[in-house]
């Protein structure tokens, strides 16, 4: 009902704010857009679910996420894909993996510091009711 739509509108505002803050962080530039398949032709053979910050934003606007947990599951693909596709010991791979780990830690810290547990519980009740 109307109150549920108010909760989900607030969820989208929270998730947009997080995603936009991450997109402004220079460490995460490589994560802002989909990996360029013309630049990396084998990417989709290795990575089954590409994800990036611009796609998270599109998903939010398309009302894909009803809980923070669902958003986190997609956000996790961004850094997990980077660790998987860039495993080597050369400086380029090490650099993108360091940024991937920083992204993982930053998302979790923001949610720990800024998400009210009771709000997420209300979102989960809405998800279970649908």
Ligand X SMILES: COC(=O)[C@H](Cc1ccco1)c1ccncc1
Applying CB under 6 A, which residues contact ligand X? 30-31, 35, 39-40, 82, 85-86, 92, 96
- Residues 98-113, buried b or exposed e (16+ Cβ, 10 A)? ebbeebbebbeeebee
Instruction: Pull the structure tokens for residue 85.
Output: 């596709």
Least gap, CB of 104 to ligand X (angstroms): 13
Cα 1 vs. chain centroid, distance in angstroms? Answer: 28
Considering beta carbons, is residue 13 or 46 the nearer one to ligand X? Answer: 46
Which residue has 């920083």 as its token pair?
Answer: 102
Smallest separation (angstroms) from ligand X to the CB of 117: 31
User: CB-wise, 68 or 78, nearer to ligand X?
Assistant: 78
CB of 18 to ligand X, least distance (A): 19
Both tokens of residue 36?
């360029």
Q: How many CA atoms lie within 13 A of 107 on its CB side?
A: 24
Residue nearest to ligand X (CB): 96
CB of 52 to ligand X, least distance (A): 7
């Amino acid at each position: 009902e109307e109150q549920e739509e108010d909760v989900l509108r607030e969820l989208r505002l929270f998730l947009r704010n997080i995603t936009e803050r991450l997109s402004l962080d220079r460490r995460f530039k490589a994560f802002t857009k989909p990996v360029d398949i013309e630049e990396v032709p084998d990417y989709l053979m290795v990575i089954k679910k590409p994800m990036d910050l611009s796609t998270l934003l599109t998903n939010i606007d398309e009302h894909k996420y009803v809980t923070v947990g669902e958003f986190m599951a997609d956000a996790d693909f961004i850094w997990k894909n980077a660790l998987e596709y860039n495993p080597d010991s050369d400086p380029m791979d090490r650099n993108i993996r360091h940024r991937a780990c920083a992204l993982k830690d930053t998302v979790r810290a923001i949610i720990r510091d800024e998400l009210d547990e009771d709000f997420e519980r209300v979102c989960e009740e809405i998800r279970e009711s649908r």
